[in-house]
Structure formats: structure tokens, C-alpha cells
């Protein structure tokens, strides 16, 4: 992640914790042994990506710069995910790879943070088998990174700071965005749903909502800094505001964000179907800046498995929500999450999932073969043979690919507005960006268009992206 746009995260300025971390940053700036270079690897969801922006902001403020090569950095940070086992195995592999480089470079420090660190089994394994790791901290105390880094530099051994839970929200710290024209804003932390396959509530803690006035102030500061698109983040944004002293609904928050002058697009994720309210559906149809894209995780189409997953809805309820969303926003783009091979899944259960996929005709989906996670109820359930899960998974991918292709064909010949994000590594004249419906579009254009809403006429479409040509004469509706 290269240097982009440095900004302070706006919220609760002057809190005691924020002051302590700012003072630690000031001291780190004056030290001769603070890391001069860093390399961050981010795994997992948008929440982890946003956390990494904060880590980068702190490091850049103390004077460190991004290293092109992991092996040459003074500080290597893995911001980890624990949702799937392969993410954990990747971390262990990289730690083994870095061991020899650290021996050659005594200045190198290795830090691990994120969800994986909140698992006791993982922590014990790291302490026992990976002595090359210098700093370990979790999800609840990421804001203490300046203080922890200072402690590490002062100590002769490793520093470990893992908290079981945390209610306080401290964010008056630096952050660096990947793009100067789009940004993510956390509106809440944690999750109260306890789906039987998911370890997130155990590692991210219970739901904590930020006060709306602080969210709005942050969005305004971002817009003043050139941001045109905001993505509101939470493990379940539909339940935002329930635990505040003065409760507010997510639909009401969207209404207030939509009224901010200068902001052009609003996205959000993730939504839990059980908390999708008629009020939010109506807001989707009414608010002009909210993108016509809704990510609504299905996980399974089988009522039996949905009960076993502790999802609190059934297939009929899900399909009714889709119907109401399409009535409110006729051209809405729908995406989802689907798990194949959940414990006890039969062929009949899988066919129920395929049935929902065919009825809804999702524009895209994040699909996963079930990954057993220690510490979750599903880990104790009868597991599905890997070969069976793989066969069903490939069948699901084929259906989603066919439907995605058919859905995208309807856009050929139409002019859409794209927010170009980056140029191609192989061709600097080729830009890539997303439409309001979240479709990926490639087209030829100059770098001056990056971050500018741009009209593009679609000329070709595949299952996963579209290509087009710049439309000079288009007028925005």
C-alpha cells in the first residue's frame, strides 16, 4: 500500500486515550530507532482493510515509508483474518519465510494483529512455535499501536497485548486512504448474531455503534478533503444505533449522510437479512446518493440449514425481501454470500440454494466452501466430505457465472457513470472503476479521469466485468 492521502480520523478529539496515542506518535518521531520502512499485508474484510489504513497513517506520521519488498522492511505487519483456515495457514507460511530474513536483519520487527490474534489456540501456537514474532495485538486495542510500538522499541523481548473485549471507541488517530476520492467509514463495531459457523463475534466483540454526530462529522471532513464516495461499514449495519443512548435507525443515518453537500455516492455493507426493515428499503428507493446495490448474504437456501446456522430467517422470508427491494429500486443490483458444505448439508439442501440463486439471479456472489473454525458450534457438527462440497461448489460457480453473464448483457449499448479508480499495470491508458450498481468497468481514458464520475458506453460484457468507450456527450440524470 503506497502513500496516498493523510488525514486525521475525525471523532471525539481530546479523549484521554487519543491524547496518549498522539503523545506516543510525537515521541516516536524523535527516535532514531523507529521503523524507517514498513510493509503491511491485509487479509479479510473491509473492516480489516480500514484498520490497515489507520496503521499506515500512524506509520507515515512517524516518518516511515512503504517498502516495495516485504523482506527488506524494518517493520512487517500482518493484519489477519480468521474466517477461513487458509488465511491462517498463509500467515504461518509467511512467518516461516521471513525467519531467515530476520536473522540477516536484526532491525526487522514482525507484528501480527487482527481477528486471528483473538483466538486462544492461535495465540498459544504463535508463542510456542514462532519466536520471530515481536508484537502481537488484537482487534479491540488497535488504536494503541503507537504506544505498543514504543514499548516494543524499549523492550528486549516480544510485546503481547490481547484484550478479551472493549466497549470504548477511540479514533482520533491518523489514517491513510488507498484512494483520495473514496473512503470507508466505520459506523459500528462487533456483532451480536452468533451464527454457528462464524467466529467474528468472539474476536470482534459485541455490537457497539458510533454516535451519528461523529459519523456525520467524519463524512463531512472527508468530503471537504475531496472524497466523492463513502462506504459505511459494520458487521451488520441493519442493526446500527440500537444500543445508543439516543437510538437511531440505519435508515435515519442514511438520510442524514445523504444530505451532506458534495458527497456523490453512498455504499454500505454488510446487511443481515433478519434486520432488514421496510424503512431501510424505502430509503433505498428515495435517497438519490445511495447506490442501487444491496449486498444481502444468503448463506444457504435450505430452511433446515438456516436454522442450524442460527440465521433467523427462511427461504420465503429472504425471497420476500428481494421482492420488496426490487419493487422499491427496480434496477437494483443484488449480491450475496453463500456457503457450500455447511455441516450436515445434503444434496437436497444444496439444490435449495441453487433454487434461490436461479430465482434471485444475483449479479455477483462471494462463495465459500465451509471452513471449520474451532470455538464455533458448527465445528462440533458432522462435517461434509470435501469431495462432495467441491462438486457442489463448482456447480454453484457455473450457475452464478452464467447468470452474471446474462445480467451484464443487458448493459451493452447503455451509458453508465463510472468512478475510475486505477490504471492497468500493463496499459496506463486503460482505466478501471465501478458503476453505481457496483459493476467493474474497463475503458480507455487519461489519468486525469481518476476519481471523476465519467460516462462510459458499454460495448462488451462478461460474467465478471464490462468494457466500454468514453462517452463525451453524456449528460448526468
pLDDT tens per residue, range 47-62: 778 788 888 888 998 8
Q: Which three cell numbers stand for residue 99?
A: 525467519
**What pLDDT sits at residue 165?**
56
Spatial distance between the Cα atoms of 44 and 329, rounded to a whole number of angstroms: 30
The continuous run of DSSP H or E covering 76 comes out as strand 75-80
Q: Taking the CB of residue 421, how many other CB atoms lie within 10 A of it?
A: 17
Spatial distance between the Cα atoms of 222 and 228, rounded to a whole number of angstroms: 8
Taking phi first (over 0 means left), then psi (-120 to 50 degrees means alpha), and beta for anything else, what does residue 208 get? beta
* pLDDT level of residue 119 (50, 70, 90 thresholds): confident
Backbone angles phi, psi at 262, to 5 degrees: 95, -20
Has residue 310 got a pLDDT over 70? Answer: yes
* pLDDT level of residue 42 (50, 70, 90 thresholds): confident
Q: Report all structural domains of the chain as residue ranges with CATH numbers, in order of start.
A: 5-161 (3.40.50.12160), 177-408 (3.80.30.20), 415-470 (2.40.50.140)
Q: Which residue has the higher pLDDT, 2 or 47?
A: 47
CB 239 within 8 Å of CB 207: yes
Has residue 123 got a pLDDT over 80? Answer: no
Q: Which residue has the higher pLDDT, 57 or 356?
A: 356
**What pLDDT sits at residue 15?**
65
Spatial distance between the Cα atoms of 222 and 467, rounded to a whole number of angstroms: 30
Check residue 115 and report its DSSP letter.
G
**What pLDDT sits at residue 433?**
95
**What pLDDT sits at residue 408?**
97
Has residue 172 got a pLDDT over 60? Answer: no
Tell me the per-residue pLDDT of 55-81, one tens digit each, with 9 for 90 and over: 888 899 889 999 998 888 999 998 887
Mean pLDDT over the full length of the chain:
87
Check residue 445 and report its DSSP letter.
-
**What pLDDT sits at residue 198?**
84
* pLDDT level of residue 8 (50, 70, 90 thresholds): very low
Q: Taking the CB of residue 259, how many other CB atoms lie within 10 A of it?
A: 11
Spatial distance between the Cα atoms of 336 and 182, rounded to a whole number of angstroms: 23
**What pLDDT sits at residue 1?**
33
Q: Which residue has the higher pLDDT, 117 or 42?
A: 42
Has residue 23 got a pLDDT over 90? Answer: no
0.85 exceeded by pTM: no
| In 250-346, alpha helices (H) | 250-258, 278-286, 303-309, 315-328
Half-sphere exposure (CA, 13 Å, Cβ side) for 418?
A: 30
**What pLDDT sits at residue 6?**
35
Amino acid at each position: 500500500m503506497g502513500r496516498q492521502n493523510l488525514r486525521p480520523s475525525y471523532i471525539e478529539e481530546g479523549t484521554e486515550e487519543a491524547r496518549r496515542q498522539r503523545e506516543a506518535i510525537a515521541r516516536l518521531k524523535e527516535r532514531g530507532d523507529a521503523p524507517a520502512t514498513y510493509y503491511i499485508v491485509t487479509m479479510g474484510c473491509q473492516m480489516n482493510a480500514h484498520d490497515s489504513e489507520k496503521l499506515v497513517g500512524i506509520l507515515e506520521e512517524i516518518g516511515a515509508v512503504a517498502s516495495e519488498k516485504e523482506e527488506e522492511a524494518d517493520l512487517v505487519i500482518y493484519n489477519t483474518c480468521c474466517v477461513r483456515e487458509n488465511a491462517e495457514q498463509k500467515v504461518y507460511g509467511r512467518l516461516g519465510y521471513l525467519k531467515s530474513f530476520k536473522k540477516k536483519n536484526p532491525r526487522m520487527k514482525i507484528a501480527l494483529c487482527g481477528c486471528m490474534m483473538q483466538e486462544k489456540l492461535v495465540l498459544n501456537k504463535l508463542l510456542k512455535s514462532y519466536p520471530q514474532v515481536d508484537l502481537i495485538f488484537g482487534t479491540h486495542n488497535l488504536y494503541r499501536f503507537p504506544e505498543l510500538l514504543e514499548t516494543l522499541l524499549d523492550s528486549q523481548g516480544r510485546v503481547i497485548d490481547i484484550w478479551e473485549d472493549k466497549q470504548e471507541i477511540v479514533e482520533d488517530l491518523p489514517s491513510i486512504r488507498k484512494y483520495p476520492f473514496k473512503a470507508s467509514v466505520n459506523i459500528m463495531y462487533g456483532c451480536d448474531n452468533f451464527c454457528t459457523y462464524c467466529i467474528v463475534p468472539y474476536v470482534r466483540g459485541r455490537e457497539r455503534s458510533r454516535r451519528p454526530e461523529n459519523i456525520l462529522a467524519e463524512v463531512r471532513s472527508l468530503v471537504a478533503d475531496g472524497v466523492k464516495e463513502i462506504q459505511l461499514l459494520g458487521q451488520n449495519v441493519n442493526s446500527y444505533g440500537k444500543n445508543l443512548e439516543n437510538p437511531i435507525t440505519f435508515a435515519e443515518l442514511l438520510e442524514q449522510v445523504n444530505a451532506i453537500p458534495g458527497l456523490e455516492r453512498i455504499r454500505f455493507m454488510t446487511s443481515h437479512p433478519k434486520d432488514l426493515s421496510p424503512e431501510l428499503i424505502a430509503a433505498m428507493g428515495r435517497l438519490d446518493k445511495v447506490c442501487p446495490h444491496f449486498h444481502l448474504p444468503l448463506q444457504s437456501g435450505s430452511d433446515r440449514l438456516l436454522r442450524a446456522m442460527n440465521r433467523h430467517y427462511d427461504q420465503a422470508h429472504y425471497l420476500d425481501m428481494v421482492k420488496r427491494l426490487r419493487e422499491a429500486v427496480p434496477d437494483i443490483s443484488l449480491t450475496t454470500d453463500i456457503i457450500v458444505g455447511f455441516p450436515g448439508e445434503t444434496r437436497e439442501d444444496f439444490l435449495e440454494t441453487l433454487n434461490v440463486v436461479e430465482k434471485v439471479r444475483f449479479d455477483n456472489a462471494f462463495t465459500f466452501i465451509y471452513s471449520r473454525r474451532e470455538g464455533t458450534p458448527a465445528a462440533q457438527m458432522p462435517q461434509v466430505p470435501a469431495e462432495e462440497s467441491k462438486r457442489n461448489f463448482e456447480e454453484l460457480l457455473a450457475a452464478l457465472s452464467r447468470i452474471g453473464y446474462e445480467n451484464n448483457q443487458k448493459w451493452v449499448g447503455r451509458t453508465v457513470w463510472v468512478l475510475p479508480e486505477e490504471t492497468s499495470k500493463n496499459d496506463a491508458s486503460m482505466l478501471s472503476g465501478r458503476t453505481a450498481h457496483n459493476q467493474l468497468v474497463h475503458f480507455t481514458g487519461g489519468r486525469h479521469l481518476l476519481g471523476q464520475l465519467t460516462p462510459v458506453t458499454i460495448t462488451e460484457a462478461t460474467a465478471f466485468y464490462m468494457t466500454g468507450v468514453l462517452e463525451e456527450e453524456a449528460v448526468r440524470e
